[in-house]
Structure 1
Amino acid sequence: MNHILYIPCVGILLLLVLTLVLYRKKNYYPYAARHLLTKREYRFYLLLKEVADEYHYIICPKVGVKDLLSVTDKKQYMKYFHKIAQKHVDFVICDRDLYVLFVIELDDSTHETRDAKKRDRLKNKAFAAAGIPLKRITDIDKRQIRRIFP
């Protein structure tokens, strides 16, 4: 057999391999489901739910700050929107009509870094400006949870 015939066969084979590789990359999604809350957050949620149920309140976990606050400065909208766009709060407590009553942040040792304190100050000021109480809690204790409810 002539060696010149191998060149087109190798070319076709390489083209097929390249096509398969590109197709697989196009359909590659490296995701897996995970629980919405950490173990600590879930333990807190269970106690929080007991108290919230007494008031007939609804708990919304892991809500984006951009879903709770709107930017009122239209001239500098993007500047202020970017400050809240990637942030979330741990729990939002709502009445039956989903009117936000207050927000809860479950703080732990990760909130002691300089960056975390800066993020926390931004949230504190933003929620205060919007008139939404932000309540910070560190201990997973039903008595402390009861104290944050009106």
Structure 2
Amino acid sequence: MELIIFLFFLFLVVILIRKVSETIKSKKEKRLIDAVKTLQSPSEEVEKQSREYKYALNDSLLTPAEIQYYKHLDSVIDGKVKVFSKVRLLDVFTPKDKDAFASMRKISSKHVDFLLCEKDSFKPLVAIELDDSSHRSKQSQERDLFVNSVFKMAGLTLHRVECKNSYSESETKSMLSFL
């Protein structure tokens, strides 16, 4: 008789385990299906935001002055290094102070016009900032001083180049003599 009771309880435990397992599996499948649906169709909030803000594609990533300097720079370096444009400082530097979050915020919205990197390792070698008339305002000059200090502190050279109608190949080669 004890054996029958034991087998009966064992049978109930097996049934209970199967039910719980099926319920868990069913919930996981439902969550997966919900996740896929969410990815396929944007939420109401996302749709609402896309109606509130309008965006248009820019004609170019670079300004005409930046395009001109990029072409000049590209011809001077002759494929020896990689040139990247509009690189965020946060992608180049890592804050090393006690309040790293505040330091990250301070550099996250700032960028340099060009960053030259080693071809294989992509290690930053030198940065170039084109200074046009917009760099003459007090606010821009304060920003420039801060950016200069970040580069100096981290030990990476930042060259400031005055925007011109044309650039001297010899001056640029001299500036990049390490290549």
TM-score range (shorter-chain normalised) is 0.7 to 0.9
Q: Is 1:109 aligned to 2:152, yes or no?
A: no
Residue 90 of structure 1 deviates from its aligned partner by 0.1
Partner of 1:58: 82
Which amino acid in 2 is paired with 1:126?
A: V
Q: How many residues in Structure 1 have an aligned counterpart in Structure 2?
A: 127
Identity of aligned residues (%): 33
| Aligned ranges 1:6-25 → 2 under 5 Å | 25=48
Shift of 1:26: 4.8
**Structure 1 segments of 4+ aligned residues over 3 angstroms from their partners:** 22-27
Deviations 1:53-101 (Å, cap 9, x if unpaired)?
25x111000000000000011x211221121011010000011121111
Tell me how far apart the structure 1 counterparts of residues 174 and 155 of structure 2 sit (CA, whole Å): 20
Query: TM-score if structure 2 supplies the norm length?
Result: 0.66
Matches within 5 A, 1:1-150: 25-28=48-51, 30-34=54-58, 35-53=60-78, 56-73=80-97, 75-97=98-120, 98-138=122-162, 139=164, 140-141=166-167, 142-149=169-176, 150=178
Conservation of the 8 A alpha-carbon contact between 1:94 and 1:102: yes
Q: Which residue of 2 aligns with 1:9?
A: none
Offset of 1:27 from its aligned partner?
4.3
RMSD: 1.9
| Residue 119 (structure 1) shift | 0.4
Shift of residue 144, structure 1, vs aligned partner: 2.8
TM-score by length of 1: 0.77
Amino acid at match of 2:173: R
Mind listing any 5+ residue stretches in structure 2 that lack a counterpart? 1-44
Q: Which amino acid aligns with 1:40?
A: A
How far off is 1:24 after superposition? 6.7
| Partner amino acid, structure 1, of 2:104 | F
SS at match of 1:115: helix
Cα 1:24/1:85, change in 2 over 3 Å: closer
Unaligned runs of 5+ in 1: 1-21
